[in-house]
Structures are given as structure tokens and as C-alpha cells.
């Protein structure tokens, strides 16, 4: 069972009342962004659930709806505030969805069957997708992820070695959490490359097998392949290595929910 908002997202969009705000001012833009996030929060729900799957799905719904609402509003100050939060090195507060409408007007329900996927309508290159993912996603930027390559249904990213990423000072090996984040991010890139859009995904299952410790003071490279897409689920394989892809540090098998999938 999906989080309440996700169960409805393919059939309706959230409404936000902004008619009393002047979004051209800083205070008005801040209020508008706060209302959008509050609306997304109420629309998607998911608070208090014990299932990590449902919690992740609700969080993805909130982020997606907020992104779309901000993009649709076409208010430069609101967009700038939202982008500042997205680029922050620490996780931003839970935010919400997206809606469409002219500045100063209430956002009304979309037609039945409309997809909430972020930027799904506009074709983008796999390189643009990758660059967006490492710039706009806070943990991607914080870890210093770099694009290695992209192609259809595939993506490869690299995290250079840094002192602050060491997991064990005695061995000077990069932390296992960095490898996990890199593999998860790389899987998302492969899915977006397969779909050729920026629609959101939510991690349903991520199994990582650590095969050996990384070499001391070495960066990590990961490559992922989205080998199967259904209407609502993407299946991905990935591996991470330090010096050679023939000698991986870890491998991953994952499944992701396509939150912008058609009904």
C-alpha cells in the first residue's frame, strides 16, 4: 500500500492558495514556498509510518510535488529560494510537491490522469541529467560526486578521496556509507538515463554486497545499468571499485518505484 498522496498523485494535483501574496518580494516568495511545502506535506502524507518503503515513497512524493509547483509558478524569487535549499550541504526540511498556476493565483486540480513527474515533459540529455543530479541533490554535492560517463540506461559516477570521507582513521579507507550513497545515486542516474527525463524515483530495495575493503586513500567509482523497466518499477545492477572494475569493492542489486509513472 502506497502513502496516501502517492496513491492519488496520478489522478489529481495539489492546490495551493497564493492569490494574497506578492511573490516578487522576498517575504512573499518565502511565504509562497512555505505554503507549497505545507501543501505537499499534507498531500503526500507518510508521517508516522513504520515502513521505510512508505516513508521513502512519501518523501519522494513531497520533493517531487514541490519541484513541480515551484517550476509551474514561474516566480524567480521562489525558484531562487528553492534552489538555495536544494543545494545546501545538509538535508533540507521535508518539502513538498509541485503544482502549476500563474503567480498570484490559486493552483487548481490538474486533469485526471496527469503525471506528477518532474520535468518529464521536456527531453533532456543524459549528461544534463547527470549534472543536475550531482549539483542539485545535497548529498551528491556534499560528497563531491563527479560524472564519469552516461549512456542509454547506464551511468557512472566517481567520488574522489577526501580526508573527511575516511571511515576508519587507522586504515584511511573511505567510509562504507559513501560507497552506499554513491551506488544508490548511480542507480538513480541509470534509471533517469533509461527514461530520458527527470521524473522522481523512490528506493524500494537496495542490496549491497561488500566484497573487500577499498584501498587506503582511494576514491571510488561506480557504474549502474537499469536492465528492466516496468510501468512502475525499475530494476538496476551496479558495482563500485577503487582501481579496476574487474576487482569491485561492492556490488548492488536494487529496485526503485517510478513515482512519475503513468497510471
Please identify, among 110, 143, 163, the residue that sits at the C-terminal boundary of a domain. 110
What backbone torsions phi and psi does residue 214 show, to the nearest 5 degrees? -70, 160
Secondary structure (3-state) at 12: coil
Range of the domain at 203: 126-258
More confident residue, 13 or 130: 130
1 in any annotated domain: no
- Whole-prediction pTM: 0.54
Residue written as cell 521535508?
94
- Do residues 100 and 216 both lie within one domain? no
Secondary structure (3-state) at 122: coil
What is the average pLDDT value for the chain, to the nearest integer?
A: 76
More confident residue, 232 or 113: 232
Q: Which three cell numbers stand for residue 141?
A: 554535492
Please identify, among 57, 86, 110, the residue that sits at the C-terminal boundary of a domain. 110
CB 238 within 8 A of CB 249: no
Cα-Cα-Cα-Cα dihedral sign, residues 83, 84, 89, 91: negative
Q: How far is CA 206 from CA 209, 210, 214, 234, in A?
A: 10, 13, 20, 12
More confident residue, 101 or 152: 152
Question: How many angstroms separate the first and last alpha carbons of the chain?
Answer: 15
CATH code for the domain in which residue 209 is found = 3.10.129.10
- Do residues 209 and 153 both lie within one domain? yes
- Do residues 106 and 131 both lie within one domain? no
Average pLDDT of 229-234?
Answer: 90
Count of C-beta atoms within a 10 Å radius of residue 170: 7
- Do residues 95 and 141 both lie within one domain? no
175 in any annotated domain: yes
Secondary structure (3-state) at 222: strand
pLDDT above 70 covers a percentage of the chain that reads 72
- Do residues 155 and 180 both lie within one domain? yes
Number of domains forming the structure of the chain: 2
Average pLDDT of 193-208?
Answer: 83
CB 178 within 8 A of CB 220: yes
- Do residues 229 and 139 both lie within one domain? yes
The tens digit of pLDDT for each residue in 90-136 reads: 444 344 443 333 333 333 333 333 333 333 334 457 777 778 777 77
- Do residues 166 and 64 both lie within one domain? no
103 in any annotated domain: yes
The tens digit of pLDDT for each residue in 128-142 reads: 777 877 777 777 888
pLDDT of residue 241: 97
250 in any annotated domain: yes
26 in any annotated domain: yes
Measured CA to CA, the distance from residue 92 to residue 121 in angstroms comes to 26
12 in any annotated domain: no
- Do residues 178 and 91 both lie within one domain? no
Q: How far is CA 63 from CA 37, 75, 219, in A?
A: 9, 18, 30
- Interstrand relation of 233-241 and 173-174 (parallel, antiparallel or unpaired): unpaired
pLDDT above 90 covers a percentage of the chain that reads 30
- Do residues 143 and 250 both lie within one domain? yes
Measured CA to CA, the distance from residue 14 to residue 212 in angstroms comes to 47
> DSSP state, 153?
T
- Do residues 94 and 27 both lie within one domain? yes
- Do residues 139 and 227 both lie within one domain? yes
Conformation bin of residue 32: beta by default, left when phi > 0, alpha when psi is -120 to 50: alpha
5 in any annotated domain: no
24 in any annotated domain: yes
- Do residues 74 and 35 both lie within one domain? yes
Amino acid at each position: 500500500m502506497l502513502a496516501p498522496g502517492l496513491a492519488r498523485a496520478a489522478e489529481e494535483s495539489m492546490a495551493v492558495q497564493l492569490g494574497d501574496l506578492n511573490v516578487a518580494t522576498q517575504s512573499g516568495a518565502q511565504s509562497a514556498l512555505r505554503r507549497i511545502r505545507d501543501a505537499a506535506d499534507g498531500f503526500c502524507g507518510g508521517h508516522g509510518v513504520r515502513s521505510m518503503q512508505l516513508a521513502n515513497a512519501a518523501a519522494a512524493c513531497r520533493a517531487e510535488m514541490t519541484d513541480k509547483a515551484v517550476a509551474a509558478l514561474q516566480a524567480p524569487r521562489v525558484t531562487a529560494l528553492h534552489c538555495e535549499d536544494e543545494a545546501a550541504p545538509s538535508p533540507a526540511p521535508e518539502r513538498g510537491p509541485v503544482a502549476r498556476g500563474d503567480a498570484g493565483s490559486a493552483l487548481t486540480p490538474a486533469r485526471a490522469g496527469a503525471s506528477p513527474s518532474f520535468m518529464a515533459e521536456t527531453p533532456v540529455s543524459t549528461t544534463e541529467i547527470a549534472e543536475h543530479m550531482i549539483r542539485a541533490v545535497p548529498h551528491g554535492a556534499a560528497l563531491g560526486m563527479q560524472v564519469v560517463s552516461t549512456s542509454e540506461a547506464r551511468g557512472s559516477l566517481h567520488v574522489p578521496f577526501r580526508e573527511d570521507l575516511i571511515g576508519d582513521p587507522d586504515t584511511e579507507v573511505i567510509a562504507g556509507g559513501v560507497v552506499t550513497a554513491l551506488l544508490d545515486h548511480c542507480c538513480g542516474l541509470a534509471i533517469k538515463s533509461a527514461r530520458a527525463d527527470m521524473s522522481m524515483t523512490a528506493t524500494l530495495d537496495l542490496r549491497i554486497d561488500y566484497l573487500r575493503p577499498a584501498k587506503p586513500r582511494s576514491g571510488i567509482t561506480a557504474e549502474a545499468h537499469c536492465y528492466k523497466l516496468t510501468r512502475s518499477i525499475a530494476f538496476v545492477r551496479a558495482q563500485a571499485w577503487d582501481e579496476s572494475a574487474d576487482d569491485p569493492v561492492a556490488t548492488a542489486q536494487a529496485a526503485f518505484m517510478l513515482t512519475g509513472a503513468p497510471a
